[in-house]
Amino acid sequence: MPTEEGKPLHGDSAQLPFHALQYVEQHSNLAEQLAHSIERSCWFFYPSDNYALIATMTKVLPSDGSSKSGDCRNRFTYFSVISIVDDQASSVLEEKGRTKNMKQYGWVVLLRAHKAFSFISWTVLAFWFFLKNVKRRILFLTKREGSQGRGKLFKFIRAIAFLTFLALMFEVFAPSNKLNLHVIKQVDVGNLSHRAYQAWLSLRVDYVAPLLIAVSRFCTILFIVQSLDRFVLCLLCLWIKYKKLKPTIDDGVFDAEDPSTFPMVLVQIPMCNEREVYALSISCVCELDWPRERLLVQVLDDSDEEIIQLLVQREVSSWRKKGVNIIYIHRHQRIGYKAGNLNSAMGYDYVKDYEFVAIFDADFQPKPDFLKLTVPHFKGNPELGLVQARWSFVNKDENLLTRLQNINLSFHFEVEQQVNGTFFNFFGFNGTAGVWRTEALKDSGGWLERTTVEDMDIALRAHLKGWKFIFLNDVKVLCELPESYEAYKKQQHRWHSGPMQLFRLCLPSIITSKISIWKKFNLIFLFFLLRKLILPFYSFTLFCIVLPLTMFIPETELPVWVICYIPVFMSLLNILPSPKSFPFIIPYLLFENTISVTKFNAMMSGLFHLGNAHEWIVTKKTGRTSEFPNILQENTEDEMITRRSKKKMKLNRIYKEEVALALLLLTAAARSFLFADGVHFYFLLFQGLSFLVVGLGLIGEQKY
């Protein structure tokens, strides 16, 4: 073989002509890919100038001699260029090159086919898993609830499905009876169907369409105003970052060698049946870096289970033996929920000796330097009543539900709370991870039990009294997000019914207060109406009711920019504080419209003082932490087995409101598809599927 006459150039590209260099540059990536794929050398022949590009893949074994399949970190690709000086060698290599290149391109085709097949199989398996879970949900619910539960739930869903399906069928078969639903004209009224057709046209044109048009325009205006508010908030947040406008403290505020220079701080941990997390908060609070003689910890246990009371008492006793100044308080009558618990704890005589009160819920895990980062802000600032820290979540990546919650709460803290604290010195207290001046609590009237948002209530009354607030975006406290949709739904109901209760009760006080007109405008319009009432109202009304109805009312139509461009723009603004969540922008947009049903219901119940407005349910926790394993109480083996068996018997609920709306949206999507309404079809389809997934309990933590 004359290949021995080949002369390696050892990478000296200066000896290659320009077009040969172009060839090498174009094919080097493909050569490397092939070399890694087939795990051997591959080469490309450039016949016009007798040059060949060779890519050689080599494996470098680690010192221990181990090598894992598919480990690209131990692979290196070397390139070399061979100059062929013999014409016979050139022809031989050219012929062999054609054969080898065909094999190599065959490998590329197979690899790409494998990727395509993997994607298709993954999609099919995901859809099959979805259908399997739907079947299991319905069958299990049928066995568990019996005939009575089955009648209440399935008759409701069947009725909604029948009505929407009937409307769609009427649209489909109307043209066969010469009934054009999009044209208003006189028809022969002798036929019964024609009479019904004429009556429906008159009703639709005279009453239904004008009402729907008015509602859609009103909601669109609210939507635009809400979008502008979000945009301005984001601009102000960027301005804060650009100007570095954040609260600062002086070094050496307290003398570490003289504990008497540290103020007296009372730390309260309210809890109720917090079996999974009570040890987390108690241990973290007891490890706060603060002189022990200047710190008192109150564990406010409202648990009604004796076993949990004993476990919490044992935890408190263990820390007391270690020298921590900690006491256990239990109320025999749980009146006023969390507000009543905190108010009762503030009634002890020794509380007057403590200048500041720090509050942590049972699942919060403050770092040891929390007090040293928050309390110094009060020094030299007698008008400061509250210092609020930011929440950080240990389980934000646990499932899709927690990821979507993280988007909302990241925007709330980094944008809303930071902007309001910087420019207005006011924001809603988050109920935990904050430090109050004791005098501000007393001056504001203490904790009241009139609403389910006692934290926002006392913050509002303190603001009306002239107290100022500071939000620390850099001080973060670990906590948990609800991992199941049921727990999240109950939490959102409380968070959205409470502000409307408070608005109804405090509106006269806001109007008659001595604060400036600008602060009154901020409280009434921006804080309550725009961000607490308008958002759930237009989101539910516009996208869940008006939009699907416009598919059956041809006189009304929502433009594409309302259902597509502005929602995407709003979602982008919400994701700015958590850029890693950008891949979830579409699920986030759909889920926000889905949860608007719960928010709208809660808002109406709070505003009009309906029956479930005062419902206060403790959010379920799991006891997760990013720093050490779950700290759970010691349980016997039998007890653990019993708890696990009970857990297996639970199953995610089916939510009839979400399922009914899913049927409405999917029916509207079918109508949109049949009449080629474009973007409306895709929005209605995916929004209907998101309602169906949520309604069947297929999002968040799964219980089997």
**What six digits make up the tokens of 228?**
């502008």
Q: Are 366 and 433 in contact (CB under 8 A)?
A: yes
Residue 230 is predicted with a pLDDT of: 95
Non-local CB neighbours of 585 within 8 Å, separated by 6+ positions? 568, 571, 572, 575
Q: Is 230 among the domain residues?
A: no
Residue 617 is predicted with a pLDDT of: 62
Residue 330 is predicted with a pLDDT of: 94
Q: Does 643 have pLDDT greater than 50?
A: no
**What six digits make up the tokens of 169?**
């069928």
* CA 242 to the chain's CA centroid: 27
Residue 113 is predicted with a pLDDT of: 73
Q: Is 587 among the domain residues?
A: yes
Task: Please give the residue range of the domain that contains residue 52.
Answer: 2-85
Q: Is 42 among the domain residues?
A: yes
Q: Does 187 have pLDDT greater than 60?
A: no
Q: Does 423 have pLDDT greater than 80?
A: yes
Last residue of a domain, one of 582, 614, 646: 614
Of 165-174, 478-487, 578-587, the least confident: 165-174
DSSP assignment of 246-273 equals -----TTSS-TT-GGGSPPEEEEEEESS
Residue 174 is predicted with a pLDDT of: 61
Q: Is 577 among the domain residues?
A: yes
Q: Does 633 have pLDDT greater than 60?
A: no
Which pLDDT band holds residue 642 (cuts at 50, 70, 90)?
Answer: very low
Could you read off the pLDDT of 462-504 as tens digits, one per residue?
A: 999 999 999 999 999 999 999 999 999 999 999 999 999 999 9
Q: Does 621 have pLDDT greater than 70?
A: no
- Comparing 294 with 644, the larger pLDDT belongs to 294
* Annotation marks residue 71 as catalytic: no
Amino acid at 576: L
Residue 367 is predicted with a pLDDT of: 96
Q: Is 562 among the domain residues?
A: yes
Residue ranges of alpha helices (H) inside 412-516 are 418-423, 438-443, 454-464, 485-512
**What six digits make up the tokens of 70?**
């598919």
Which pLDDT band holds residue 269 (cuts at 50, 70, 90)?
Answer: very high
* Annotation marks residue 455 as catalytic: yes
How far separated are the first and last CA of the chain, in Å rounded?
70
Residue 23 CA to residue 53 CA, distance in Å, equals 9
Q: Are 550 and 212 in contact (CB under 8 A)?
A: yes
Could you read off the pLDDT of 537-579 as tens digits, one per residue?
A: 988 899 988 998 888 888 888 888 999 889 999 999 999 999 9
Q: Is 387 among the domain residues?
A: yes
Of 186-190, 264-268, 431-435, the least confident: 186-190
Residue 562 CA to residue 556 CA, distance in Å, equals 13
Tell me how many domains the chain contains: 2
Could you read off the pLDDT of 17-50 as tens digits, one per residue?
A: 555 555 555 555 555 555 444 444 444 444 444 5
Q: Is 333 among the domain residues?
A: yes
Residue 637 is predicted with a pLDDT of: 40
* High-pLDDT (> 70) share of the chain, %: 67
Identify the CATH number of the domain in which residue 301 sits: 3.90.550.10
Residue 111 CA to residue 103 CA, distance in Å, equals 12
In the set 361, 363, 455, 457, the catalytic residue is 455
Residue 660 is predicted with a pLDDT of: 86
Q: Does 127 have pLDDT greater than 80?
A: no
CB atoms within 10 A of CB 702: 14
Q: Are 356 and 385 in contact (CB under 8 A)?
A: no
Residue 397 CA to residue 556 CA, distance in Å, equals 42
Buried b or exposed e, range 333-346, using 16+ CB within 10 angstroms: eeebbbbbbbbbbb
**531, 527, 530: which is closest to 519 by C-alpha?**
527
Which pLDDT band holds residue 134 (cuts at 50, 70, 90)?
Answer: low
Q: Does 216 have pLDDT greater than 80?
A: yes
**What six digits make up the tokens of 613?**
């407005």
Q: Does 334 have pLDDT greater than 90?
A: no
DSSP assignment of 171-225 equals HHHTGGGT--TTS-----TTSHHHHHHHHHHHHIIIIIHHHHHHHHHHHHHHHHH
Q: Is 281 among the domain residues?
A: yes
**CA angle 99-101-105, nearest 5°?**
125
Q: Does 149 have pLDDT greater than 50?
A: no
Q: Does 138 have pLDDT greater than 90?
A: no
Q: Does 191 have pLDDT greater than 90?
A: no
Q: Are 389 and 443 in contact (CB under 8 A)?
A: no
Residue 385 is predicted with a pLDDT of: 97
Residue 559 CA to residue 550 CA, distance in Å, equals 11
Phi and psi for 129 in degrees, rounded to 5? Answer: -65, -40
Of 402-406, 507-511, 604-608, the least confident: 604-608
Task: Dihedral sign for Cα 9, 10, 14, 19, please.
Answer: positive
> If you average pLDDT over residues 513-517, what whole number do you get?
92
Whole-model pTM?
0.75
Last residue of a domain, one of 566, 598, 614: 614
Residue 8 is predicted with a pLDDT of: 42
Q: Does 1 have pLDDT greater than 90?
A: no
Q: Does 123 have pLDDT greater than 50?
A: yes
- Comparing 659 with 162, the larger pLDDT belongs to 659
> If you average pLDDT over residues 63-89, what whole number do you get?
50
Q: What is the rounded average pLDDT for all residues in the chain?
A: 79
Cα Rg of the chain (Å, integer): 33
Last residue of a domain, one of 53, 68, 85: 85
